[in-house]
Structure 1
Amino acid sequence: MKSNMGGTDRIIRLIIAAIIAVLYFTGTITGTVSIVALVLAVVFLLTSLVSFCPLYTLVGINTCKVKS
C-alpha cells in the first residue's frame, strides 16, 4: 500500500476527527447524525494514521510529496 496523503492532509483529517469526537462526547450532536459523524471521524483517523486513502486512489489524487 503506497501512501498517497501528505502531511497537511493528515493533520487536517486528525483535527476534523478530534472536533467530531468532542462534539459527539459532549452531546452537542445526537441521533443518526452523530453516528454518521462518528463513523466519518473513525475513517479520517484510520486513513491519516496509515497515510493512505482508498478514495484518493479511485479519483487519482495524490497529496504526498514525491521523494527524490
Structure 2
Amino acid sequence: MKANMGNTDKIIRILAAILIGVLYFMQLISGTLAIVLLIVAGAFIITSFMSFCPLYLPFGLSTVQKEKK
C-alpha cells in the first residue's frame, strides 16, 4: 500500500478520534450513535497509523505533499 495521507490529515483524524472518545466517556453520546462514532474513531486511528485511506483510492485523492525539486 502506498501512503496517501499527509501529516495534517493524520493529525486531524487522530484529534477527531480523541474528541469522540472524550464525548463517549463523558457520556455526552450514547446508544447507537455512540457505537457508530466509536467505530469511525477506530477507523480513523487505524488509517492514521497506516498512512493509507482506502476511500481515497476510487477518487484518486492523496494528501501527501509532493517533494520539491
TM-score category (smaller protein):
over 0.9
Q: Percent of aligned positions with the same letter in both sequences?
A: 50
Give the equivalent residue in structure 1 for 2:5.
5
Compute the displacement of 1:48 (Å): 0.5
For 2:28, the equivalent position in structure 1 comes to 28
Query: Could you tell me how far apart the structure 2 residues matched to 1:58 and 1:23 are?
Result: 32
TM-score under structure 1 length normalisation: 0.94
Shift of 1:38: 0.3
When the two structures are superposed, what TM-score results if normalisation uses the length of structure 2? 0.93
How large is the RMSD of aligned CA atoms in angstroms?
Answer: 1.0
Q: How many positions carry a matched residue from both structures?
A: 68
Q: Which runs of 5+ in 1 are unaligned?
A: none
List alignment gaps of at least 5 residues for structure 2. Answer: none
Larger proportion of helix: 1
Distance 1:16 1:61 in 2: 20
Residue type at the aligned position of 2:29? I
